[in-house]
Amino acid sequence: MKLTVVGAGSTYTPELVAGLGRDQDALGLESLVLHDIDGERREVVGGLAQRMLDKQGYRGSLEPTGDLDRALDGADFVLVQLRVGGQAARLRDETIPLACGCIGQETTGAGGFAKAFRTVPVVLEVAERVRANAGPGAWIVDFTNPVGIVTRALLDAGHRAVGLCNVAIGFQRSFARLLGVAPERVLVDQVGLNHLTWVRAVRLDGQDVLPALLAEHGDAIAEQSGSPLALMEELGAVPSYYLRYFYAHDEVLDEQRDGVPRAATVAEIERGLLELYRDPELNEKPALLEQRGGAFYSEAALGLIQSLVSGDGAIHEVDVRNHGTLAGLRNSDVVEVPARVTRSGATPLPQPPLAPELLGLVQHTAAYEKLAVAAALSRDPVDVKKALLAHPLVGQYATAERLLDHLVAEALA
């Protein structure tokens, strides 16, 4: 099997490489290609990747390259983890909205729209090169944020793609730790849209233990979720951390205005990581990588790929077409739900209807995501404003016009 990572200059990549070395036999991995347009990052990350794989006894080939067609030639899996514009663009996404009275965040709200606007055309261009160069039946696994919007664009264009996020596996590992059991025994029934999800059940050996978890470990779960225990008890569900941007909007906005942008913190962490990666003696992922975010990214990505290779029917939390899974949404909407994965793809598990207090927000945001894809493709300022007007965290015409002028005008030029 040949696996190509597009955007492999990311400081996340050693996390993935650690898992690839560990699972090489189960995956049948014979060729790993690390593609990035940044030559320096490609060299630094590729060098560490080679040392890590050598230490793990990797028997296949490793090729860092800046040639996309070469990277994709004959690939069976293409994992896309791009950040178009780098951390500088992220910093703009997180700070410009604040001046307009909006949350500054790189995957949701106005900042998330700006990221999608930059990213969707680039990922679709990569996908067309996959179609032309990769092996028959190649899969695109999208880890590029905003995952739901990017995956929708890929599927709308007819690509064989599935989206992936690490929020659900983070909850699974946390719940397993609280329960004192192996993670494999825990199924997290998390549903909604990417970065707009709720855990409605936690199944230990098939039995829902969420009420008991909240009763015994409510404060710890509230800290991870970012939502008050009372809210979780009233909803009967655990919101993902990203729901805090909706449920505590004003509090978060004040925090962001007074605090240091996450982008600045991450940029500093990345500088430190890249310096560590240059050390010719380093042959394992450094502890600092844990501060970068993306916990359990390797396990989520490689578990999904292994199921697509083996057809084992394991359950994974993925971003796929709705196709009637969540009542009240279009079949074409992209939802994030548990799905049974085989060689032919991911089939969502049946889901009971969302409660009205969840469904309303999901419908609202799903409509925005459809408009966001349209705007990213048309590059029409009117479409941009329509998408921003539809987002629950924007929604005002004067605000949408200001965001158009200051957040995405450069991309339209």
What is the structure's pLDDT at 413? 62
What is the structure's pLDDT at 45? 97
Residue 335 corresponds to which tokens in the numbers above? 């939802």
| C-alpha–C-alpha distance, residues 354 and 360, integer Å | 9
Q: Which residues are catalytic?
A: 242
343: which residues sit within 8 A by CB, 6+ positions away?
Answer: 308, 309, 310, 311
Dihedral, CA of residue 139, residue 326, residue 313 and residue 31, to nearest 10: 20
Residue 284's nearest CA partner among 17, 44, 43 is 17
What is the structure's pLDDT at 17? 95
Residue 71 corresponds to which tokens in the numbers above? 């990277």
Question: Which residues of the chain fall short of a pLDDT of 70?
Answer: 294, 413
Phi, psi for residue 39 in degrees, rounded to 5: -60, -40
Residue 403: CB atoms within 10 Å: 27
Residue 63 corresponds to which tokens in the numbers above? 């090729």
What is the structure's pLDDT at 56? 95
What is the structure's pLDDT at 243? 98
Strand partners, 162: 141
What is the structure's pLDDT at 295? 73
Helices (H), 226-333: 229-235, 244-247, 249-258, 262-277, 297-310
Strand partners, 193: 196
What is the structure's pLDDT at 410? 75
Residue 11: CB atoms within 10 Å: 25
Longest dimension (CA), the chain: 59
Residue 220 corresponds to which tokens in the numbers above? 């710890």
Helix (H) or strand (E) run with residue 348 in it = strand 345-348
What is the structure's pLDDT at 293? 73
| C-alpha–C-alpha distance, residues 276 and 271, integer Å | 9
pTM: 0.96
Dihedral, CA of residue 221, residue 224, residue 227 and residue 228, to nearest 10: 40
| C-alpha–C-alpha distance, residues 37 and 83, integer Å | 11
Residue 98 corresponds to which tokens in the numbers above? 């604040």
Please provide the size of the chain in residues: 413
What is the structure's pLDDT at 342? 97
